[in-house]
């Protein structure tokens, strides 16, 4: 049984997150990053486990992978894996030496509506 104190703390944290962001937290199966003119997408490890058929077109190694869309990102269905060009340093992502920034909530919402 969960104690009342723990439940109160969890509810308070959720309320603070909602107030800080202005939106409820959304679960995504990827993270997007702007790297210059390119958009890099990190797809989480659960999509590359042997039990997830067909491992979303990547290796079935239970690891997350980075992809870049060719040409026009929003209309492209041709993604190529670029794991070897990604470096993570101090929670910052770099693609071929160029610093990347994560999408904002507004950009994620815009992407969802296209």
Residue 50's pLDDT is what? 81
| Structural tokens at position 86 | 């990604």
| Residue with more model confidence, 69 or 86 | 86
Question: Within a domain: residue 62?
Answer: yes
- pLDDT tens for 13-32 read 544 444 444 444 456 778 88
Task: Give the domain range for residue 79.
Answer: 26-112
Residue 77's pLDDT is what? 59
> Which one, of 47, 67, 63, lies nearest residue 55 by Cα?
47
Angle (CA) 87-85-39 rounded to 5° is 90
Question: Within a domain: residue 82?
Answer: yes
Domain count, the chain: 1
Residue 17's pLDDT is what? 45
Which pTM does this prediction carry? 0.65
| Residue with more model confidence, 9 or 69 | 69
Question: Within a domain: residue 74?
Answer: yes
CB atoms inside a 10 Å sphere around CB 81: 15
């Amino acid at each position: 049984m969960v104690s009342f104190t723990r439940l109160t703390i969890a509810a308070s944290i959720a309320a603070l997150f909602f107030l800080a962001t202005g939106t409820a937290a959304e679960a995504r199966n990827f993270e997007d990053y702007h790297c210059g003119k390119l958009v890099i997408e990190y797809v989480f490890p659960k999509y590359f486990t042997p039990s997830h058929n067909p491992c979303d077109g990547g290796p079935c190694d239970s690891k997350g992978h980075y992809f870049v869309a060719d040409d026009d990102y929003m209309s492209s269905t041709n993604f190529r894996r670029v794991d070897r060009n990604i470096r993570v340093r101090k929670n910052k992502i770099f693609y071929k030496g160029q610093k990347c920034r994560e999408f904002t909530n507004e950009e994620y919402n815009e992407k969802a509506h296209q």
